[in-house]
A = this chain, B = another copy of it.
């Protein structure tokens, strides 16, 4: 049994999902394997709305998985995001997640693949 902020997690699996679950967190983390500017991230993930991307990044930062760096305070702002050491421990898992999805696309006939 694990707890974070009075929320309970009965096993380590549910605990992991607390960090990378949700619709977009794993996607964002995977993109951040390479350090990125905020605008790069947005361009690479057009399916994620601005608000959601911003909120998820803040949560990832609070969870200690991602670090945000501001390089200048004068406009135009320059901010980038990268994985912390703790966040980097997720890399093999993130790779496995991406890999499994590719395999699934070949196995599950309900999945339609297109260039998009």
Contact = CB atoms under 8 A, between A and B. Distances in A.
A16 B17 CA distance: 13
A88 B102 CA distance: 15
Nearest to A64: B108
Interface in A92-106: 92-94, 96-105
A67 interface: no
Contact of A111 (B2, B46, B97): B2
Given A12-B101, A92-B96, 19 more contacts: A1-B113, A4-B110, A5-B110, A11-B27, A11-B98, A11-B101, A12-B98, A12-B100, A12-B102, A12-B105, A13-B94, A13-B98, A14-B24, A16-B101, A17-B27, A64-B108, A86-B108, A89-B103, A89-B104
